[in-house]
Structure 1
Amino acid sequence: MDFALSEEQELFRTAIRKYMNDLDRTAFARSVISGNLDVVANATSGLAEMGVTAIPVSEEVDGLGLGALDLVPVFEETGRVLLPGLQLETLALAVPLLESFGTPAQKAARLPSVASGESSVSIAWYERDGSLFPNSFSCIAGKTESGYALTGTKTLVPVIGDPDTFITGAQTAEGKSLFLVKASDVASSRMLSVLDETQQLAEITLNQAPGELLGEPGHAAEMLKEGLLHFNAALCSSMVGGMDELVKMTAEYAKIRVQFNQPIGRFQAIKHGIVNMKLDLETARSLSYYAAWAVETNATDKAAAVHSARSFISKAFIKAAADSIQIHGGIGFTEELDVQLYLKRARYYENYFGSVRDSRRATAQSLEWHSTPAKRDAVPVS
């Protein structure tokens, strides 16, 4: 079975890559590190003009109605240059959640502005001392005459690019439920330190914030698990893009770095190291393509496909970055080169909305190798 991208998708990749090159590749990521956040809005606007932000949005609400495979070249190319922003959270998690569980009114109110690039949505899920699927929330949603009012604190919330809406979870009488909360209704926020300085995470406090129920009450964990299949497939594409760039820059460095009067690329140890990076890259790419295909076609093995891809690629991305630094030698640790940026991004993604251990356990559960969920989780993560 051929899981290669279509000719149209590859042509779109070429256009995205040209746009990323026009942005001077990792220059935008470095601009964010230096404090210039305007570049995030500029990049999002450019992607919107190319139609990227409309890809997963259904045609009924001004989108293109395309699938997970059409996002593969987008996230590979944005991952290649470590583009800052909420593209992953908005297009690969918030949009699938809204499309699957939102009411017609909720879709009409929010998705057209997402498709046009005017709006971004983030996920405020984690709480202090909580796992991806905690037994309970300290964040409480109480019923009011007009809907719900949310009170509590959420941490590790992606906020780069100033999202205007958060999808969050809170405890209701029926159980854990999902809500839409406007960013303007957040009582306070506190920025957190992040290893990957191209990202921004915050701790936000809700104090009787108006919340709009998303989906059926009491089913937050199940809805998030479904949304995370889309998200992890897209995240894998982003990590593959980063790995691809690491292989390219490492091979180029091995050609120009001279030691003992010859390029270090002629040394057997260096050759083997780059070949191993390339082998991991192609394995990761195959797993990533199959995961996206499984999600788009709703294949019976989509959970196993996505979580096995996530568990392998998360570790492979870290290894590729570490090996690249080793081949570059001492200069690989310096801020002068981009290699250290990729290692930070790889470590950032290692436990992003689920750990490698979570993915491996979810894969085993989906294959019926392991039927008992871990005690620290309320529900299995498959």
Structure 2
Amino acid sequence: MDFSLNEEQEMFGNYVRKYLEDKGETNIARNFMKGDLEYYQSIYSGLVELGCAGINISEEYGGMGLGALDLVPVLEEWGRSNMPGLYLETNALAVPILEMFGTDKQKKKYLPAIAEGTQTFSIAWLEPRGSYNPLDIHMTATVEGDEILINGTKTLIPDAELADSFLLVVRTSSDGGDKEGISLLLLDKTEQIKIRRQSNIDESRQLGEIKLENVRVSKESLIGSLGNGWDILEEGLLAINAALCSVMVGGIEKVVEMAAEYAKIRVQFGQPIGRFQSIKHRIADMKVDLETARSLAYYANWALENRTDDRIQAIAGARLFTAEAFNRAAGQNVQIHGGIGFTEEIDCHLFVKRARYYEHYLGSTHYYYEKAAAALGW
């Protein structure tokens, strides 16, 4: 079976690549790290004009009505350029959740705005000294008539300051098991919500903390039924992890190109270092990892789009391999560049930091090994 992109998908990916190359690729992230949000917003507006924001949104809500595989070329270019922002969380998590579980009112409110590029989402899941385990969800949400009263703290929220709304993981009941009683809410950012910026190893992905004290939202902000949030969240995690694999594939591809190009121009002992067998072997191993990761990512997104029986193990397996391959490739790239690879003037460090950030993003490596093993019946 052929899981490569079709001609139209590859063509669209080339348009996105040319646009980002013209705008400076990693310079977008570098400017973002310096606090230049206007430049990033202008770049994102251009991507919206290309149609990137509406790819997987139904046509009735202003999108193109396409699937997960059609996001792949955009996501790969996102990874190549080390792009900041919430495209992944918005289009690969919030959109699938809204499409599958949102009410008509929720879809009409958010999906057209996402397609227009005026609405972004982040995920507010982790809590202080907690993990992604459902037992560590302590933020309470109490139903009071037509309203829900929220109390608690969420931390390490991706790009909280950029988000217009949050997917909020809360506990609406303490009865039953660890996964029961967890609900998912749509929380719009208001002046009542104060964000405290937090440090991150990847400066191009900012983190934030929010404290909610007696914040009231309409009961209409609930996604799905009360207490059924964990099942909805797990469906969303399949979508975002399949997409994340493609982002990391783009990062690996760029890293391999950087390493190969430097090996051609760096001369040592009278010849380019790319002629040395040890360098050749490293780059060859990186290239093998890249093609393996790309194949796994394509299949993961195909399995997600077609809802195959093996989609859980396909996505978990792809997530594990691509995360490990990205870290290996980013580390080898620094080694091939030598001392200059440790400087901030060269882009090596951007990809090392992004690889480390994604390694345990929305769940630890151990968690995804368990998911893959359970899906395989081991």
The answer on whether the counterparts of 1:45 and 1:117 sit within 8 Å (CA) in structure 2 is: yes
The answer on whether the counterparts of 1:133 and 1:221 sit within 8 Å (CA) in structure 2 is: no
Cα deviation, residue 154, structure 1: 0.3
SS at match of 2:209: strand
Structure 2-normalised TM-score?
0.95
Report the equivalent of 1:209.
215
Q: Structure 2: which 5+ residue stretches go unaligned?
A: 176-180
Report the equivalent of 2:178.
none
Using the alignment, how far apart are the partners of 1:223 and 1:141 within structure 2? 17
**Matching residue's letter, 1:32:** F
* 1:45 matched to 2:45: yes
The answer on whether the counterparts of 1:194 and 1:201 sit within 8 Å (CA) in structure 2 is: yes
* 1:327 matched to 2:340: no
Cα deviation, residue 132, structure 1: 1.3
Using the alignment, how far apart are the partners of 2:112 and 2:265 within structure 1? 49
Residue in structure 2 matching 1:179, options 182, 185, 193 = 185
* 1:245 matched to 2:251: no
The aligned length equals 369
The answer on whether the counterparts of 1:311 and 1:357 sit within 8 Å (CA) in structure 2 is: no
Report the equivalent of 2:364.
355
Q: Per-residue displacement from partner, 1:281-322 (whole Å, max 9, x unpaired)? A: 000000000000000000110000000000011011000000
Report the equivalent of 1:72.
72
Report the equivalent of 1:376.
none
Report the equivalent of 1:314.
323
**Matching residue's letter, 2:79:** G
Q: Per-residue displacement from partner, 1:98-133 (whole Å, max 9, x unpaired)? A: 111110011001110001101111111111222213
SS at match of 2:65: coil
* 1:131 matched to 2:131: yes
Report the equivalent of 1:227.
236
Bigger mean CA deviation after superposition, 51-60 or 172-181: 172-181
The answer on whether the counterparts of 1:178 and 1:214 sit within 8 Å (CA) in structure 2 is: yes
The answer on whether the counterparts of 2:195 and 2:209 sit within 8 Å (CA) in structure 1 is: yes
Using the alignment, how far apart are the partners of 2:161 and 2:270 within structure 1? 48
Structure-2 change in CA distance of 1:139 and 1:185 (3 Å): farther
Report the equivalent of 1:13.
13
Report the equivalent of 1:298.
307
The answer on whether the counterparts of 1:303 and 1:362 sit within 8 Å (CA) in structure 2 is: yes
Q: Per-residue displacement from partner, 1:156-181 (whole Å, max 9, x unpaired)? A: 11126621111101111371101011
Q: Per-residue displacement from partner, 1:213-244 (whole Å, max 9, x unpaired)? A: 11111111111111011100110000000000
The answer on whether the counterparts of 2:126 and 2:137 sit within 8 Å (CA) in structure 1 is: no
Structure 1-normalised TM-score?
0.94
The answer on whether the counterparts of 1:185 and 1:206 sit within 8 Å (CA) in structure 2 is: no
SS at match of 1:184: coil
Using the alignment, how far apart are the partners of 1:182 and 1:215 within structure 2? 17
Which 4+ stretches in 1 moved above 6 angstroms?
A: none
Using the alignment, how far apart are the partners of 1:161 and 1:49 within structure 2? 23
Report the equivalent of 1:378.
none
Using the alignment, how far apart are the partners of 2:161 and 2:48 within structure 1? 14
Residue in structure 2 matching 1:188, options 177, 186, 194 = 194
Using the alignment, how far apart are the partners of 2:7 and 2:365 within structure 1? 33
Using the alignment, how far apart are the partners of 2:51 and 2:147 within structure 1? 35
Give % identity: 51
SS at match of 2:356: helix
Report the equivalent of 1:141.
141
Residue in structure 1 matching 2:373, options 364, 368, 379 = 364
Cα deviation, residue 70, structure 1: 0.3
Using the alignment, how far apart are the partners of 1:318 and 1:145 within structure 2? 49
Cα deviation, residue 349, structure 1: 0.4
SS at match of 1:305: helix
**Matching residue's letter, 1:347:** R
Using the alignment, how far apart are the partners of 2:114 and 2:161 within structure 1? 13
Cα deviation, residue 355, structure 1: 1.7
Cα deviation, residue 185, structure 1: 5.6
Cα deviation, residue 144, structure 1: 2.5
The answer on whether the counterparts of 1:138 and 1:152 sit within 8 Å (CA) in structure 2 is: yes
Bigger mean CA deviation after superposition, 154-163 or 112-121: 154-163
Report the equivalent of 1:62.
62
Structure-2 change in CA distance of 1:91 and 1:66 (3 Å): same
Cα deviation, residue 2, structure 1: 0.4
